[in-house]
């Protein structure tokens, strides 16, 4: 089954990356941990690794392109595998390889109860 390789979050403030250099070509075999590209972030140039093994079936962006986080950059799979569904938007449920851990979304945080707020609602029995 073909695997999507997406632009990872390589820094805390990164929202997009510029693919500075491909280190592989279509048809190359890669293994988990291989560095496939150099990506310029808002802070530095970082190495982009893959977590899956297989053959590079398609490189979808050119060197110098700016790609948003999660943007599709390549497809890994078995030689001869049909990837038209992945490349043209694909159906949900297909595998994807994100090279960086996903940061948890920060929603509306509730403030912890402080001693002051606790005492305001406290009704002492003995007074």
**1-83 adopts what CATH topology?**
OB fold (Dihydrolipoamide Acetyltransferase, E2P) (2.40.50)
Residue 108 CA to residue 121 CA, distance in Å, equals 23
In this structure, what are the phi and psi dihedrals at residue 72, rounded to the nearest 5 degrees? -70, 125
* Domain extent listing, the chain: 1-83
Determine which helix (DSSP H) or strand (DSSP E) holds 58, and give its type and residue range: strand 54-59
Residue 96 CA to residue 76 CA, distance in Å, equals 9
| pLDDT per position as a tens digit, 76-126 | 999 999 998 888 754 333 444 444 433 334 444 444 555 555 555 555 676
The three-state secondary structure class of 120 is helix
- Split at pLDDT 50, 70, 90, the class of 56 is very high
């Amino acid at each position: 089954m073909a695997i999507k390789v997406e632009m990872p979050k390589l820094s805390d403030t990164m929202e997009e990356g510029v693919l500075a250099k491909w280190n592989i070509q279509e048809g190359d075999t890669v293994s988990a941990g291989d560095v496939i590209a150099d990506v310029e972030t808002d802070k530095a140039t970082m190495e982009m690794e893959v977590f899956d093994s297989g053959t590079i079936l398609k490189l979808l962006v050119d060197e110098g392109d700016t790609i948003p986080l999660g943007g599709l950059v390549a497809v890994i799979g078995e030689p001869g595998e049909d990837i038209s569904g992945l490349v043209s938007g694909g159906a949900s449920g297909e595998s994807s390889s994100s090279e960086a851990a996903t940061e948890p979304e920060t929603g509306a945080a509730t403030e912890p109860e402080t001693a002051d707020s606790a005492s305001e609602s406290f009704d002492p029995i003995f007074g």
